Structure 1
Amino acid sequence: MHHSLIITMLSSTTTFLLFLTIITATATTTSPSDISALKAIKSLINPNSIPSYSCLASWNFTSDPCQNPHITHFLCGLSCSEFRITQLTFDRAGYTGSLSPSISQLTQLITIDLSDNKLSGPIPISLFSLPNLQTLNLRSNLFSGPIPPSISNLKSIQTIDISHNSLTMSIPDTFHSLLALTRLDLSFNGLTGPIPSLPINIIELAIKSNSLSGDLTKLSYTITENLEVIELSNNSLTGTIPNWFFLQPSLQQVNLAYNKFTNLNIPKPVESNLIAIDLGYNNIVGNLSPNFSTYPLLSSLSLSYNKLHGPIPAEFAKVRRLFLDGNYLSGLPPQEFFTAKSMVSGSLGDNCLKMCPISSQLCVKSQKPSSICQKSQYVVGGGKAKPKS
Structure 2
Amino acid sequence: MSTTPIIFLFFLFLSATVSTAITTVSSDITALKSIKSGINQKTISSFTCLYSWDFTSDPCSPPHVTHFLCGLSCSGNRVTQLTLDPAGYTGTLSPLVSQLTQLITIDLSDNKFSGQIPNSLFFLPNLQTLILGSNSFSGVIPASISNLKKLQTLDISHNFISGSLPNSLTQLTELTRLDLSYNKLNGALPKLPKNIIQLALKANSLSGYLQKQAFTELTQLEVVELSENSLTGTIPGWFFLIPSLQQVNLAKNSFTGLEILKPVNSNLIAVDLGFNKISGYPPANFSTYPMLASLTLSYNKLRGRIPWEYGKTTTLSRLFLDGNFLIGLPPKDFFSGKTSLSGSLGDNCLKMCPISSGLCLKSQKPLSICKQAYRGKLKPKS
1:332 to 2:329 alignment? yes
2:285 to 286, 291, 311: 291
Other-structure match for 2:40? 46
Count of residue pairs brought into register by the alignment: 363
Kindly report which structure 2 residues correspond to 1:3-18, keeping only aligned pairs within 5 A, or say none: none
Relative to 1, partners in 2 of residues 1:22 and 1:89: Cα closer, same or farther, differing over 3 Å?
Answer: closer
The 2-side partners of 1:277 and 1:20 are apart by 61
Other-structure match for 1:109? 103
Other-structure match for 2:359? 362
Other-structure match for 2:338? 341
The 2-side partners of 1:99 and 1:65 are apart by 19
Q: Secondary structure at the match of 1:310?
A: strand
Kindly report which structure 2 residues correspond to 1:108-257, keeping only aligned pairs within 5 A, or say none: 108-257=102-251
The 2-side partners of 1:125 and 1:379 are apart by 61
Query: Contact 2:81–2:106 (CA<8 Å) still a contact in 1?
Result: yes
Other-structure match for 2:6? none
Shift of 1:31: 0.8
Query: Contact 2:183–2:204 (CA<8 Å) still a contact in 1?
Result: yes
The 1-side partners of 2:21 and 2:288 are apart by 68
Relative to 1, partners in 2 of residues 1:294 and 1:379: Cα closer, same or farther, differing over 3 Å?
Answer: farther
Q: Secondary structure at the match of 1:378?
A: coil
After superposing on structure 2, the runs of 4+ consecutive aligned residues of structure 1 that deviate more than 2 Å are: 19-28, 378-381
Q: Specify the code of the residue in structure 2 equivalent to 1:216.
A: L
Post-superposition Cα deviations, 1:62-99, rounded to whole Å, max 9, x if no partner, equal 00111111111100000000110000000010000000
Q: Secondary structure at the match of 2:191?
A: coil
Query: Contact 1:352–1:368 (CA<8 Å) still a contact in 2?
Result: yes
The 1-side partners of 2:159 and 2:139 are apart by 10
Q: Specify the code of the residue in structure 1 equivalent to 2:99.
A: Q
Shift of 1:23: 5.7
Query: Contact 1:307–1:380 (CA<8 Å) still a contact in 2?
Result: no
Relative to 1, partners in 2 of residues 1:241 and 1:22: Cα closer, same or farther, differing over 3 Å?
Answer: closer
Relative to 1, partners in 2 of residues 1:306 and 1:101: Cα closer, same or farther, differing over 3 Å?
Answer: same
Q: Specify the code of the residue in structure 1 equivalent to 2:146.
A: S
Post-superposition Cα deviations, 1:206-241, rounded to whole Å, max 9, x if no partner, equal 001000000000110121111110000000000000
Q: Secondary structure at the match of 2:39?
A: coil
TM-score by length of 1: 0.91
The 2-side partners of 1:167 and 1:345 are apart by 38
The 2-side partners of 1:51 and 1:117 are apart by 13
The 2-side partners of 1:340 and 1:21 are apart by 70
The 1-side partners of 2:322 and 2:310 are apart by 14
Query: Contact 2:192–2:215 (CA<8 Å) still a contact in 1?
Result: yes
Bigger CA radius of gyration: 1
The 2-side partners of 1:84 and 1:28 are apart by 10
Query: Contact 2:20–2:62 (CA<8 Å) still a contact in 1?
Result: no
Query: Contact 2:371–2:377 (CA<8 Å) still a contact in 1?
Result: no
Post-superposition Cα deviations, 1:224-281, rounded to whole Å, max 9, x if no partner, equal 1111100000000000000100110010000000000000000010110000000000
TM-score by length of 2: 0.93
Query: Contact 2:19–2:61 (CA<8 Å) still a contact in 1?
Result: no
The 1-side partners of 2:18 and 2:126 are apart by 29
Kindly report which structure 2 residues correspond to 1:255-334, keeping only aligned pairs within 5 A, or say none: 255-317=249-311, 318=313, 319-334=316-331
Structure 2, gaps ≥5 residues long: 1-12
Other-structure match for 2:370? 373
Other-structure match for 1:4? none
Q: Secondary structure at the match of 1:196?
A: coil
Structure 1, gaps ≥5 residues long: 1-18, 382-389
Shift of 1:28: 2.8
Shift of 1:20: 11
Other-structure match for 2:9? none
Cα root mean square deviation, aligned? 1.6
Q: Secondary structure at the match of 1:175?
A: helix
Q: Percent identity?
A: 66
